[in-house]
Structure 1
Amino acid sequence: MIRLLTVIGARPQIIKAAALSRAISGEFSGVVEEHILHTGQHYDDNMSRVFFYELGIPAPYRNLNVGSAPHGVQTAEMVVGIEKALSEGGFDGVVVYGDTNSTLAGAVAAAKMNVPIYHVEAGLRSFNMSMPEEINRRVCDTLSSILFAPTDSAVENLAREGYADDVRTIFAGGRKRAVIKSGDVMYDNAIYYGEKAERESNVLRDNRLEDRQYVLATVHRESNTDRPENLNGIFRAMADIAGRDSISIVLPLHPRTRKMMEAALDRELRRRIGASRMKIIEPVSYLDMVMLEKHARMVMTDSGGVQKEAFFYGKPCVILREETEWTEIVSHGAGILTGADYDRIMDAHRRCMDMDVTFPPLYGDGHAAEKIVRAITEYSGQEGLR
């Protein structure tokens, strides 16, 4: 039996982990034993308990409860807690997802203890080293034993950096490393939870929304929420879109973002928002978010996950950032980078409303999780991966 420690710390990582948990509890139930450790990087006990239940995955066996703190303090506390779990647990590998401080801490702790690291979503690059996420993903890739790249562009990024795609051909500091194009676990989830959302979600009915009659918007990234000028640019554009057009904007808003918005926007802009067709609602569950994505006309977001889910469901996307790690969405023409600039947002919105673009299967065949777990079972016992 292969014992894996899965390290998560933020809501998107719970969603990604759900795909592997389904594969482990299904096809690999007699081969792999998974234990989930939550760092507590972003954790609300009530919300997270419901979230795990909704996704149908095991609750964490341990929560480090690190909470919010400066990057260095937070990451150091995570490393200490993960090292303790590894020293007690006899784990054969550590699975980490994406690019958060929890990802970095899981990789550093495992590397220090000579435990194989399996990085899901390896090879993504925004090429902006001022972003903490870019630093995290590059360091994690350097430390990982198997790098599961979701797309061709991720594989190409790793190849340019000297990583090979064959476990037999690359050595680094005594550690063998392999790059495997796995496909994207979030595409697995888009298929699985998309069907589940249609059966179980009532969010459209509860908010009196009709198919393709609204724009779905999300704003949460600190580079936007912590800069008043960015919030003003974004919300001026949204107010004008929802005020002039016959289409509404639906904005699930986190309490922190709401607080920052109220502080940054002047009274007149808040009045215009209130008088427009913008519908600001409380944060929604994952299934409700999937339902909103599936039935929107288009999407406006600064979230990496939401822009990708928009692509999965065939929705053009205004990306409220200056760069994205999901570069193929932009190069394919399904997403437009605008930053927080009012004029660019308005232009991108007009283009997306009339956009005629195809959405090819850039992210695999919906079986990424099975490929990843199978690769772990095949490689985890090989000499040199430790």
Structure 2
Amino acid sequence: MKITIVAGARPNFMKIAPIIRAIKEENNAKIQFRLVHTGQHYDRKMSGDFFDELGIPMPDANLGAGSGSQAEQTASIMVGFEKELLQNPPTVVLVVGDVTSTMACSITSKKLNIPVVHVEGGIRSGDMSMPEEINRIVTDSISDHFFTTSELANQNLRYTGITDERIHFVGNTMIDTLLSNLNRLEDPKLNFQDKPLEEKKYMVLTLHRPANVDEETKLKQMMDTIVKGCAPFPVVFPVHPRTAQILHSLGILYDNLITVEPLSYLKFNYLVKNALGVITDSGGITEETTVLEVPCITLRDNTERPETVDMGTNELVGTDPTKLPPFLEKIKSGNWKKGKTPPLWDGKAAQRIVSKLKEIYG
């Protein structure tokens, strides 16, 4: 069996690392893989460090898609990936997550009559204004098999007419990566008022979604509410390159705000693990905080990962800054809800995936 594994953006790398490791642990020649990096994320801090830290081999091909509009990026990936598949035809293509690369490579594969398996299939936010939601729906509509993270994802797929023999509940490969690296996390050695940050005495913030960062007045209001509401605790904000430009133009400065460049996987998750709480608009981070039992506030009106709210430590607060203060007070006072880890988020999802691939494709 020859598997082409696609990675395109930062969230993908955490999901493919354990799959590659599980393939290597098979220790035989029955499974061969070819890793294709689409180049969707091309900044080293957004991609390169992840390969180094997570033990991902250098890609066999880099399509160099780079930036551009949604359409430009999709087209560039498809053109490059078609050439890759024609030159190196696999038994099956494995895509992960919900980024542009996931959808583009799925379409390209199916046009060439190559089977597609979707890791993290079936998740839905119900928000068609999100590019990721379109990517999920398109990818799931043409994939042959689905490796899912939750029973709700299974149900979403069944509602579209997909039969159970194509749905495989395996767990969460991103959690595989987290659990296997807990003893390798690295202190980024950040200071606040000339002293090192203290465990459980700071907050972590991430923002990148257009609903939160594109409108300058709203972003300013959101930042005011977050930073003042977290006081006296410092807020560590690893700034997405796109958001950094907007913050710079607004001249946003606060005494208890620490802005840093995007951090490597091991350094960022060290911060999350030891934080008093996390404020984010990222779906993946809500999964990590749930497993790490760290309080998490999600600044979105919907989530494709409802298990992090229903079972985990996450609360869906929305994009209205005025709703934030009571939640920040709960975290600061230690009155946050207790969560539990969802089923099969046990660090063994990748092993289940490789076992099932062998069963299906030989």
Q: Same fold (TM over 0.5)?
A: yes
From 199, 203, 210, the equivalent of 2:188 is: 203
**Distance (whole Å) between structure 2 residues aligned to residue 14 and residue 358 of structure 1:** 26
Residue 74, structure 1, aligned to residue 73, structure 2:
yes
Q: Normalization by structure 1: what TM-score?
A: 0.88
1:265-309 residue CA offsets vs partner (Å, 9 max, x unmatched): 4x6xx3xx422x222122211000111111111110011111111
CA RMSD in angstroms, aligned pairs only = 1.8
Helix, strand or coil: the match of 1:360? coil
Aligned residue number for residue 255 of structure 1? 241
Deviation of 1:98 (Å): 0.8
Residues 1-386 of structure 1 aligned to structure 2 (within 5 Å): 2-27=1-26, 29-44=28-43, 48-166=47-165, 178-197=166-185, 201-204=186-189, 208-242=196-230, 245-263=231-249, 265=250, 270=252, 273-275=253-255, 277-332=256-311, 334-353=313-332, 354-381=335-362
2:188 corresponds to which letter in structure 1?
A: V
TM superposition shift of 1:144: 0.8
Given that residues 201 and 276 in structure 2 are in contact (C-alpha distance below 8 angstroms), is that contact kept between their aligned partners in structure 1? Answer: yes
Task: Classify the secondary structure of the residue corresponding to 2:164.
Answer: coil
Question: Partner of 1:274: helix, strand, or coil?
Answer: coil
Q: How far off is 1:333 after superposition?
A: 6.2
User: Structure 1: how far apart are the matches of 2:151 and 2:42?
Assistant: 33
- Taking a change above 3 Å as real, the CA distance of residues 132 and 256 of structure 1, as seen in their structure-2 partners, is closer
1:231·1:340 contact (CA, 8 Å) conserved in 2? Answer: no
Cα distance change on mapping 1:213 and 1:131 into 2, 3 Å: same
Deviation at residue 204 of structure 1 after TM alignment? 4.2
8 Å Cα contact 2:95/2:118 also seen in 1: yes
Distance in 1 separating the partners of 2:297 and 2:291: 15
Q: CA deviation at 1:17?
A: 0.9
Whether the aligned pair in 1 keeps the contact of 2:312 and 2:342 (CA below 8 Å) is no
| Partner SS state of residue 118, structure 1 | strand
1:204–1:292 contact (8 Å) kept in structure 2: no
Deviation at 1:368, TM superposition (A): 0.2
Structure 2 Cα separation of the partners of residues 333 and 15 of structure 1: 20
Instruction: Please report how far the alpha carbon of residue 363 of structure 1 lies from its aligned counterpart in structure 2 after TM superposition.
Output: 4.7
Structure 2 unpaired stretches of 5+:
none
Q: Does the CA-based 8 Å contact 1:125-1:134 persist in structure 2?
A: yes
CA 1:51/1:358 → structure 2, altered by over 3 Å: closer, same or farther? closer
TM (norm. structure 2) is: 0.93
Q: Kindly, what percent of the aligned residue pairs are identical?
A: 36
Q: Which moved more, 1:132-141 or 1:206-215?
A: 206-215
Greater CA deviation, 248-257 or 280-289? Answer: 248-257
CA distance in structure 1 between the partners assigned to 2:189 and 2:290 by the alignment: 20
Bigger shift: residues 34-43 or 45-54: 45-54
2:204 and 2:236 in contact (8 A); partners too: yes
Displacement of 1:349 in angstroms is: 1.6
Residue 121 of structure 1: how far off its partner (Å): 0.5
- Aligned 8 A contact 2:239 2:262 in 1: yes
For 2:342 and 2:124, the matched residues in 1 are separated by 20
Q: Secondary structure at the match of 2:324?
A: helix
Equivalent residue pairs, number: 357
